[in-house]
A = this chain, B = another copy of it.
């Protein structure tokens, strides 16, 4: 066992308390070094480029508008980019998939115990994928039932339905005809095994296909 250079960390979370907590937890590990923490996704993108960091711990839900997944995508797009470990409160499918598509190396829940957190950081620093057991299970489920996979456009329509819009309103918002909206809905109902917009929203919500 040779002396390793420390793992350099960047923390991105809009909750001051969580930032302080992550710092406190991670700095007890002798081989970790928290180089900075930021309260915004934009700040994370900026500092990830300018500082020399190995792993970014990224929250997905920021108070503002820019999403953590978007920031993740921007960070991982660069050459020699740091690994991004997504750290979020709830484990909905949309979030997980968005994060993985954005190039996240791992996905953790905020209720993870410190040891699991530290282990995930080391795994990520080594370039390997780090998924919380809960998340891994959920992904397995996803693979087994391909029916649950809505297309991008379908998800978009369903989200607007969940927001309470009528077919007419959705068609205007997405610059579609009502026929198209209905067509998407028919496919959505078939995939979810339901027969009305409200039950589609209910099913999609429990399965974490849309955000509330």
Contacts and interface: CB of A to CB of B under 8 A. Distances in A.
A8 interface: no
A21 B15 CA distance: 10
A199 B165 contact: yes
Contacts of A164: 194, 196, 198-203
Contact of A166 (B113, B161, B196, B200): B196
Interface in A16-45: 16-25
Interface in A103-147: 110-114, 117
A17, A111, A202 interface centre (most CB from chain B within 10 Å)? A17
A22 B19 CA distance: 10
A166 B199 CA distance: 9
B18 A163 contact: no
A20 B114 CA distance: 10
Contacts of A23: 24
Contacts of A200: 164
Given A15-B111, A111-B14, A202 B163 contact: yes
Contacts of A6: none
A50 interface: no
B16 A18 contact: no
A172 to B, nearest CB: 15
A166 B212 CA distance: 21
A17 B117 contact: yes
Given A164-B198, A194-B164, A198-B161, A16 B20 contact: no
A110 B166 contact: no
Contacts of A112: 16-17
Top 8 closest A-B pairs, CB basis?
A21-B21, A164-B199, A164-B202, A17-B21, A20-B21, A20-B24, A24-B24, A164-B198
Given A20-B21, A164-B203, A206-B212, 20 more contacts: A15-B110, A16-B25, A16-B112, A17-B18, A17-B22, A17-B110, A17-B112, A18-B21, A18-B110, A19-B21, A20-B25, A89-B89, A162-B198, A163-B202, A164-B194, A164-B200, A165-B199, A166-B196, A198-B198, A198-B201
